[in-house]
Amino acid sequence: MAERDAIIEASKMIAPSSRVVGFTGAGVSEESGISTYRDPGGLWDRFPEGASGGIMGILRRHPEVAHELFSGLLEKLREAVPNPGHYALSELEKMGHLKGIITQNGDNLHQEAGSSNVVELHGNGYRWRCLECSTKKVFSRDGLFEMAEKILSKMEQFSIEWIIPQLPPCACGGHMRPDAVGFGEPVQNLDRATEEANKCDVMLIMGTSGVVYPAAMFPLIARERGAKLIEINPRESDLTTHCDLFLPGKTGEILPGIVQEIREMRA
């Protein structure tokens, strides 16, 4: 947990700002029970080929684990709810400080906590896109799990030929896939993320290793434009040396304390 002096220092940096942007990675979702892929016991640890080929890389080598893999991912997503860090970011927006969040996460938890301007670099698991016409559809929580469970109930092992006819249909006659970025696919919303990084005067870096590009370039863009960088992370990242302030610990433990400190400054 960060010491009080660091929380006060971070609060003094944020309080006068009306253009704070959050930059979040898998560590923020991990605090809601969604395990990261890279940490010990994570997916890339269990299946090393995933680190270079993603989930599809695992399934190509181990199609027999498809049901286990997808069931596990679905269950974690079903159980996940916004944590205090998500709600603290939403509160900073209501207070007029936070103007946007650039996130590498696709679990919709920032939106569920009330954040309105969320720039998703790697897509969103609740949003699906037609393979033919690119029409997009957003599923509710219940709708997504009901649809996914029907597919899983029929699945024995994975193949592209089997899965495509099982995917939800589009009005054009095609089928829809999750609008999430896989390995080898371009990230989404680069222009919006670049605009947010260029315009912010403080960037909050939270729960990221800082090793995945192009995502990790946005704090560096903000820094080049004169923004202050504040990092909240259990351990130092590849971005720490670029930051003006590093607070060791979890976002859900530290950020609510910063919000409270700013409230007291404004009282």
- Predicted pLDDT of residue 50: 47
Structure tokens at 142: 């219940």
Catalytic residues: 122
- E-assigned strand segments in 71-201: 98-103, 118-120, 123-130, 136-138, 176-180
User: What is the CATH number that goes with domain 1-32+82-122+187-267?
Assistant: 3.40.50.1220
What digits encode the pLDDT tens for the residues 146-172?
999 898 888 876 777 888 899 999 999
pLDDT at 57 over 90: no
Mean pLDDT across the chain, nearest whole number? 89
How far apart CA 252 and CA 91 sit, in angstroms, is: 13
Amino acid identity for residue 48 in this structure: P
Coil, helix or strand for 17?
coil
Quick one: pLDDT at residue 41? 57
pLDDT at 75: 83
Query: 52-58 contacts: CB < 8 A, separation 24 or more?
Result: 52/183, 53/183, 54/182, 54/183, 54/184, 55/182, 56/182, 56/183, 57/183
Is pTM beyond 0.85? Reply is: yes
Domain spans of the chain, in order of start: 1-32+82-122+187-267
- What is the pLDDT at residue 72? 76
Q: Which residues are paired to 233 by β-bridges?
A: 248
